[in-house]
Structure 1
Amino acid sequence: MKKSRPGAEVYMRFLQLAEAIRGLPTLPPLDPLEERILQLVARATQQQARLSVRDMMAKDELGAPATIHGRLKSMREKGWIVLAETEDARRKQIELTKAALQHMAKLSQCMEQATRG
């Protein structure tokens, strides 16, 4: 059997560890589009930027506004995001829930563990 390169081994260990935490009773799984939306919200959170529902629906690469709106609703129902009020009552800001942040922290631990081997 061919030996994997070290970088590939670390990534494969990470995938294995990440799959194990997905089996834990936490948040319901996301579909691929919801995963992409979660990444965008997480990146905005990290950059301390505001991301509104309107901003998200303007992202053509995610699909039609109705599709995006449906996914945001699904993600709220699954407990991944909340819509927070802003100074403009017509505009809602998308924020990660505490459970979503905890899930990301667990994934971070998986990455650290994978690199330690």
Structure 2
Amino acid sequence: MKQTSRPADIYLRFLQLAETLRGLPSLPSLDPLEERILELVARTRQTQERLSVRDMMAKSELGSPAMLHSRLKSMREKGWIMLTDTEDSRRKQIELTQAALLHFDKLSKCLVQATKHI
């Protein structure tokens, strides 16, 4: 295999490695919208902000509240996210499960591996 050093090649290698994770028996797969939701939850966690179900429903760019609610329910059932209580019992925070965090650890390893091939 011919080695190149274009930044795009690193990214494409990462995508190839990340695709192999989808075939591994871990958590059930997500549809594209669920992946966007998962990434939003992860980015919010990274910045140590809180993200409630109500906050998520307000994000009109992700779709209707009813559709988002069904996706959040699906993601909970698949083991990607969990809802935790807050000081207001009517509000629930969206958080990543330990399995989802492990998934991001694996993606990070794919990124590191992709950069080693330059």
What amino acid is the match of 2:98?
A: K
Match of 1:97 in 2: 97
Match of 1:37 in 2: 37
- 5+ residue gaps, structure 2, are none
Match of 2:65 in 1: 65
In the TM superposition, what is the alpha-carbon distance from 1:102 to its structure 2 partner? 0.2
Alignment size in residue pairs: 115
3-state SS in 2 of match to 1:102: helix
Q: Return the TM-score normalized by structure 1.
A: 0.94
What amino acid is the match of 2:64?
A: A
3-state SS in 1 of match to 2:13: helix
CA distance in 2, matches of 1:63, 1:55: 13
- 5+ residue gaps, structure 1, are none
3-state SS in 2 of match to 1:24: coil
For residues 52-99 of structure 1, give each alpha carbon's deviation from its aligned partner in whole angstroms, at most 9, with x where no partner exists: 000000111011100000000000001000000111000000000000
In the TM superposition, what is the alpha-carbon distance from 1:17 to its structure 2 partner? 0.8
Displaced runs of 4+ in structure 1, greater than 3 A?
none
**Aligned-residue identity in percent:** 70
In the TM superposition, what is the alpha-carbon distance from 1:5 to its structure 2 partner? 6.1
Match of 1:46 in 2: 46
